[in-house]
A and B are shown apart, each in its own frame.
Chain A
Amino acid sequence: MPEPFKLILKNLDEPGFTPDIGCYQRHGGYEALKRALAMPARDLPDGKKLSPQEALREDVKASGLRGRGGAGFSAGLKWSFVDRRSGKPIYLICNADESEPGTFKDRQILHKDPHQLIEGMILSCWANDVKLAYIYIRGEMPVAAKLLNQALKEARAAGFLGKNILGTGYDLEIHVHRGAGAYICGEETGLIESLEGKRAYPRIKPPYFPAVLGLYMCPTIVNNVETLCHVKHIVLMGPTEYAKLGTPNNTGTRIVSLSGDVQKPGYYEIQVGRVTLGELIFDPNFGGGLKPGRTLKAIIPGGSSSKVLKAGEVFKLNRKGADGQMAKVDVSLLDLPYDFDSLQQAGTMSGSSAVIVLDDSRSMVQTLGNLSEFYAHESCGQCTPCREGALWLSKATHRLSHGEGRKADADYLTHIAQNIQGRTICAFGEAAAWPVLSFVKKFRDEFEAQGAADEAAHAKSQGTSSPKSSDPRSAAGSLQTH
């Protein structure tokens, strides 16, 4: 039977574990920091020497750690892109703006084990010669912001933060910065703009890659809360041992946020790829199955922006056969290992590892309506296709959910979504478009049936066979014809 594996979550739900530094240190806290800062330079086989900081950067690369915020990009590689020759200060920002619908993992760390994040951050800052760092936390988490400020104060008093950390001559300051309710601040360049005191309009890349032109146009690292926590464990375990957790190219553990129509919603830490989607939903150690008498309809596997998966789907995955050759193998939805690569091969993503389960009592039309309203509300408004398109998507799904739909709305929705994706500065365009494209593609019959039923009801009440041309809905609908 698959079991949760607690690395990041090891202490935080233990009875008696409190967020103060005393308790954290009684559980081995700040030992990784002490160990790293005492590390000697590392001799390489070719006679070169790595400074202890360079060695940690190499270890993070070797650990295979991939970003836990959504993109799943190699953390070590991200660090390696940092421009270290510009002479400008290097900044590190912890992205604690957890707001992808379905995700509630960072919340646990921030509220219950803030020192784990701070230790991971200090290590990451030290490895990257960072002297000033920020925790950008969601405005809607005021309690966590206070806890973090308290934890930072304790860390300063204990000599882990501030001037001359542990007598090594290394100085670092970390400050908490609160957001104010805008989802787009989770996008790293939007977050940087917000931290500069501006509207969170994402920057165009190139040239504004944070590793080169980030905060105040200086090299900047933006890492997710959970990602930074892992750095501590890479130091303690060593990269080789760490990489034995999980599966090749999908190393370590991940905290999965499970919500929707399951018996036991909650956050579950797993070894990446060692537990399947089916086990996450049905195993008593995880979701514990669906509500009584219900069957599975769909899974949103990686936060609301990921493409929906339909019950019964079978995917072609690349697998190494007995002969060592890669071959395409059929894998059904519930047998998909929950990791970065398998979900990508299934045409979606593990994103922020938020799994939302939908059972047969749910209308896919209503569900998409809920999500599209979110994206319409959260578009920052900078790029026209997204600002206008996200609103059109929301209006069309809204009318379908309120008895005013049209049969052609399925095509209309697809058409708009296709004209948003790839035409915006940041990935929000894709985030708004992907749910629409996948819902309509995989549940087309539901959308068409709803539209047809609404048209029929409309015709009956109007005594005509089709909506009048003066109907404002027709004007919007005409977009689909060209």
Chain B
Amino acid sequence: MSFSVPASLEAELDELTTHYPVKRSASLMFLHALQEHFGYISKDAVEWTARKLGLQPINVYELVTFYPMFRQEPLGKTHIKVCRTLSCSLAGSAELRERFCTRLGLDPHAHAAQTTPDGQFTVEFVECLASCGTAPVVLVNEDLHHKVGTAEADAILKQGQKA
């Protein structure tokens, strides 16, 4: 399948470019928008961004490999980010992540992001999500879930099965 950016998205990105006196500044915003649309950043997306912003592909690719939020492969429809850092860890985030993994048949001890074979879920440990007062927190796609106990964890999984 050839890579094609819908005209409406391209127009949106062209407008975004006008926010900056230097086009290169729009790189991160381009990558966010392309990742949201395609689910990940492909080699084509890198080259397309570079062409649009008058850059070399390496200028864009080095961002994809530096910033933890960018992905080079498709992820699950429900992306579960469990906060790993101190306050959430004190509140049991390691056990919480293990529960997600075990229930989904993923390796509870592997550290990196894991996706279920059916493409429904990705479970990942991430660093501080800046909501330490309601630990442990879990970011499910765009929604932050607070004080996540076992019941809420299971509800997140149930919801994700329907996605």
List the interface of chain A (C-beta within 8 A of B): 98-104, 106-107, 132, 138-143, 173, 175, 177-183, 194-200, 216, 257-261, 265-267, 300, 304, 354, 356, 358, 362, 367, 370-371, 373-374, 377-378, 380
Contacts and interface: CB of A to CB of B under 8 A. Distances in A.
Interface in B94-150: 126-135, 139, 142-144
B67 A257 contact: no
A199 B128 contact: no
Interface residues of B, number: 43
B132 A374 contact: no
The main secondary structure of chain A at its interface with chain B is mixed
Contact of B87 (A98, A101, A175, A181): A101
Contact of A103 (B62, B66, B67, B132): B132
Nearest to A366: B89
Contacts of B143: 143
A196 B86 contact: no
Nearest to A111: B144
B130 A181 contact: no
Q: Which 4 A-B pairs have the closest CB atoms?
A: A180-B67, A197-B27, A259-B132, A181-B68
Contact of A257 (B24, B89, B132): B132
Contact of A196 (B19, B22, B70, B144): B22
A180 B21 contact: no
B93 to A, nearest CB: 10
29 contacts: A101-B87, A102-B87, A102-B128, A104-B130, A104-B132, A107-B131, A138-B130, A140-B129, A140-B130, A140-B139, A143-B142, A175-B19, A177-B28, A177-B29, A180-B28, A180-B32, A180-B63, A195-B25, A197-B25, A198-B63, A199-B66, A200-B66, A259-B87, A260-B90, A354-B132, A356-B86, A362-B90, A374-B128, A380-B66
Nearest to B21: A216
Report which residue of A98, A354, A370, A377 has the largest number of chain B beta carbons within 10 angstroms of its beta carbon: A370
B82 interface: no
A103 B128 CA distance: 9
A132 B21 contact: yes
Contact of A266 (B53, B63, B66, B133): B133
A259 B26 CA distance: 36
B16 to A, nearest CB: 9
Given A101-B128, A140-B139, A182-B66, A258 B86 contact: no
Nearest to B132: A259
Contacts of B80: none
Contacts of A367: 86
B85 interface: yes
B69 interface: yes
A104 B26 contact: no
A378 to B, nearest CB: 6
